[in-house]
Amino acid sequence: MSPKPHHSEMPLGNNLLAALPKDELRRWGARLELVELSLGQVLCEPGVEFEYAYFPLTSIVSLLYVMQNGESAEIALVGRDGMLGVSLFMGGNSTTIRAVVQSEGMGYRLPAAELIAAVARGGATLRLLLLYTQSLLTQMTQTAACNRHHTSNQQFSRWLLLSFDRLQGDEIVMTQKLIAKMLGVEGDAVSAAATALAETGAIGYEDGRITMRNRAILEGSSCECYAEVRDECSRLQSLAGDRLVEPAFG
């Protein structure tokens, strides 16, 4: 990880940061650092207190629940829509999940103490963070239902749509093995689902690169879970106020 200082003229690129009150952002100042987030990098482990909160820009962080036997399954995605570290302002300081960089890129990090102090001041910052937390919980609960009731192809389509929503671009670079680990399925299931979607024209799939080609077809291949998350997060976005000038929650 290579930290770089934040400068006020630098475009934020993270919708949650862009929605913060300007005075709060000024308080954080140079404590907000631009960092490289590499593929597979672990940002937090279960039971370990956060040193930093992370605000992805061009990267995606996968939140995983890890079983005692080492198996894991993804419960949510965090990208330019939000942040990693909600347990800091919920009072727990640590969590039961592992956070792994799923798609490499850039992000900002903020010392945990700065976020805790901002929440203690309350006001618009706290309200915004709580609304984001509700959107994250929506994604988690819908993912749990989806994994239980829908096919691998539907789950894969939902996962792709959520990922593309949280990236700045229409391409994801990720191995079949890593996708399978995120979804908690066999690698053959990912290969079959990706091939089937490519044949419909929804995506391009080659050498670990997945490219969005037709969103309408991809949405048609997904179950209702994607739309449920998207619509609820859009509702929460509207409650956050006029500073959210672009889709912030999906």
C-alpha R_g of the chain? 18
pTM of the model: 0.84
Cβ pair 205, 192 in contact under 8 A: no
Domain locations along the chain: 4-121, 149-227
**Per-residue confidence band for 9, with pLDDT thresholds at 50, 70 and 90:** very low
Which residues are paired to 101 by β-bridges?
61
Beta-carbon-side half-sphere exposure of residue 170 (alpha carbons within 13 Å): 9
Question: What confidence tier does 235 reach under pLDDT thresholds 50, 70, 90?
Answer: confident
Q: Which CATH superfamily is domain 4-121 in?
A: Jelly Rolls (2.60.120.10)
The fold adopted by the segment(s) 149-227 is: Arc Repressor Mutant, subunit A (1.10.10)
CA distance 199 to 211: 13
**Beta strands at 4-5 and 33-37: parallel, antiparallel or unpaired:** antiparallel
Task: Convert the pLDDT of each residue in 99-131 to its tens digit.
Answer: 999 889 999 999 999 999 999 988 889 999 999
Q: Which residues, in sequence order, are CB contacts of 155 under 8 Å at separation 6+?
A: 146, 147, 183, 185, 223
Alpha-carbon dihedral of residues 159, 94, 125, 142, nearest 10 degrees? 30
